[in-house]
Amino acid sequence: MKIGGICLTERCNLSCSMCHFNGPTIIRKYRTLLPNQVFKFIDGISQNEKDVYISGLGEPLLDENLNDYIRYVIDKGFVPNLLTNGQLLTPDRIDSILKIGMRKIRISVDSIDEDEYNTIRKGGDFNKILRACSYLKLKKDIYPDIHVEINITLLEKSSTTEEDYIQFWTNKVDRLNFNAEYFDIFKFRNLHLPPPAIRAPCEISVYLLPSGQMALCCAIIVYQHFEDLLWLPHIDETTPEEAYEIFNRIYHDPTSEFSKICKNCEWWLLSVPHNEDGITPYLKTVGLEGNYKQYYD
């Protein structure tokens, strides 16, 4: 069984131009997982897993129970990874999650130009990101295993080149992740490489959604915001292992509701293997400060 991650909440403090959950033209939903649902899901994660990704279809730092979830993940022997927009990473908040044991933090930042960033991530302040990264770097004196990454969506109208990002973030963070943009739920643009001629099989994972339902891929995570997918299993009624078995069955059933969606979807690009340079059509990663191998070999 492969765990994709825990999406705690749909609540968000920003309205980003490309966001399919809280964007300027999107109807917002405010569902948030209950603690018993999160704990049950974590209890169902196989011991073969190492990293547990904690994110949101909104901002996970808005969930008042986040610290309890981080602590529970660690107590179960897993490594928590936090994906955030970074606006709430104040020194006090950083100190609280570091004290619990959080070490891997990914911050979504789509421009290094202050005005452009504030336009893309409406309600955001680019300088808060810089202050958070500076503080996290200072805390490495106490917690040397802190690892900070920047997730960058390559937007069609972005004025910043990859080399500009690399130069700007060197000595500030540990790694950059350049992601292609999905722009209409199922389609991608700004790919790093041409898509293969033959479609790659998708990797089935189990994601826990703010509704309590579980999804088998990123495409369904987005699609379920707009459509009620009653066939998705619910954590109140199903274990992650049972959900994984359901997902394998519907993935290989050409008559299933999922297969009808899957046939016109481009998210399979996430499952294309890395080339010799470590790049896929969807993702390019760049390690900074010489410590890439420490975490990813």
Q: Which of 36, 38, 40, 92 is nearest to 60 (CA)?
A: 38
pLDDT in tens, 204-238: 999 999 999 999 999 999 999 999 999 999 999 99
Q: Residue 158 has what pLDDT?
A: 73
Confidence grade of residue 157 (pLDDT, cut at 50, 70, 90): confident
Give the confidence band of 161 by pLDDT, cuts at 50, 70, 90: confident
Phi, psi angles (nearest 5°) of residue 122: -65, 130
With beta carbons less than 8 A apart as the criterion, state whether 53 and 163 touch.
no
Cα separation, 235 vs 212, whole angstroms = 6
CA 60 to CA 83: how far, in whole Å? Answer: 8
Return the beta strands (E) in the chain as ranges: 3-7, 15-16, 51-55, 79-84, 104-108, 121-122, 147-153, 175-179, 181-182, 188-189, 206-208, 214-215, 283-287
Q: Tokens in use for 32?
A: 């948030």
Interval 33-80: pLDDT, tens = 999 999 999 999 999 999 999 999 999 999 999 999 999 999 999 999
Which contacts of 89-95 are long-range, i.e. CB under 8 A and separated by 24 or more positions? Answer: 89/61, 89/128, 89/132, 89/135, 89/136, 90/132, 91/135, 93/61, 94/132, 94/135, 94/136, 94/139, 95/139
Q: Mapping DSSP to helix (H, G, I), strand (E, B) and coil, where does residue 285 land?
A: strand
**Average pLDDT score over residue span 257-265:** 93
Residue 152 sits at the vertex; the CA angle it makes with 88 and 198, to the nearest 5 degrees, is: 135
Q: Which two tokens stand for residue 297?
A: 């070999």
- Which amino acid is located at 41 in the chain? F
Contact 54, 5 (CB under 8 A): yes
83 pLDDT higher than 90: yes
Letter for the amino acid at 93? R
- Is the predicted pLDDT of residue 293 greater than 50, yes or no? no
Q: Model confidence at 256, in pLDDT bands (50, 70, 90)? A: very high
How much is the CA Rg of the chain, to the nearest whole Å?
A: 19
Instruction: Return d(Cα 5, Cα 56) in angstroms, integer.
Output: 9
Residue 251, judged by CB atoms within 10 A of its CB (0-12, 13-18, 19+), counts as middle
Give the helix ranges, DSSP H, for 101-161: 114-120, 126-138
In the chain, the domains with their CATH numbers are 3-296 (3.20.20.70)
Which DSSP string do the residues of 197-259 spell out, in sequence order? SSPPPPPP-EEE-TTSBEESSHHHHHHTTTS--TTS-BTTT--HHHHHHHHHHHHT-TTSHHH
Q: Above 50 in pLDDT, residue 140? A: yes
The tokens describing 193, both together, are 């490489």
Average pLDDT, the chain: 94
